[in-house]
Amino acid sequence: MSAVPPVPLSGEEQAVMRAFGRLIQVLPRLLDADLERDQRMSLSEYTALRHLSEAEDRLMRMSELAAACDMSLSGMTRLASKLESLGYLRRIRCERDARGSNAVLTDAGLARLREAWPDHLASVRRHIFDHLEGMDLRRFAAALEAMTGSAGPACNGDPHDD
């Protein structure tokens, strides 16, 4: 049985692949640098607070929060310790599973997220949406979701969306 050789990328496809590769490396660093400069907050901190703010009762299992933030559980534990020391979240034992713990966003954490949101929004607009003017954003979002294999909902317009 002979294998069918792969179809080479066109010049346009190569350009997209190279630009996309650079984007996934550079964009998080740009957003993080802006948050650090403007709010003295890392993108990881912002992301964890945002996920908690969107969760029912502002509570998530630590393992779920780690997955939502694309972090290891040990990395999330370190981040949660920092956020807890700042008064932005509390960790409590999980009622259903005594081995697990939950992270709960405090009022101070929600206030801090709301304080950082305008600067983060400006950064997102500058680094992303200013370059997408005139594009069909629904199709673009659907394509990005398809690339990650997730079929989650598109933007819901919440005031603390990225």
pTM (two decimals)? 0.83
Helices (H), 40-106: 43-54, 62-68, 73-85
Q: What is the pLDDT, as a whole number, of residue 42?
A: 98
The model's confidence at residue 6, banded by pLDDT at 50, 70 and 90, is very high
CA distance 88 to 111: 9
CA distance 109 to 116: 11
Please check the confidence at residue 106 and state whether its pLDDT lies above 90: yes
Let me know: does 103 contact 62? Beta carbons within 8 Å.
yes
Q: What is the pLDDT, as a whole number, of residue 138?
A: 96
Please check the confidence at residue 131 and state whether its pLDDT lies above 70: yes
Residue of 21, 27, 48 lying closest to 126 (CA atoms): 27
| Cβ burial 74-89 (10 Å sphere, 16+ → b, else e) | eebeebbeebbeeebb
Please check the confidence at residue 158 and state whether its pLDDT lies above 70: no
- What integer best gives the mean pLDDT of the chain? 91
In the chain, domain spans: 40-134
> Using one digit for the tens of pLDDT, what is the confidence trace for 44-81?
999 999 999 999 999 999 999 999 999 999 999 999 99
92 half-sphere exposure, CB direction, 13 A CA radius: 11
Q: Does domain 40-134 have CATH number 3.40.50.1700?
A: no
Q: What is the pLDDT, as a whole number, of residue 148?
A: 87
Q: Which residue has the higher pLDDT, 9 or 151?
A: 9
Please check the confidence at residue 22 and state whether its pLDDT lies above 90: yes
CA distance 28 to 9: 27
The model's confidence at residue 157, banded by pLDDT at 50, 70 and 90, is very low
Please check the confidence at residue 162 and state whether its pLDDT lies above 90: no
With 0-12 CB in 10 A as exposed, 13-18 as middle and 19+ as buried, what is 49?
buried
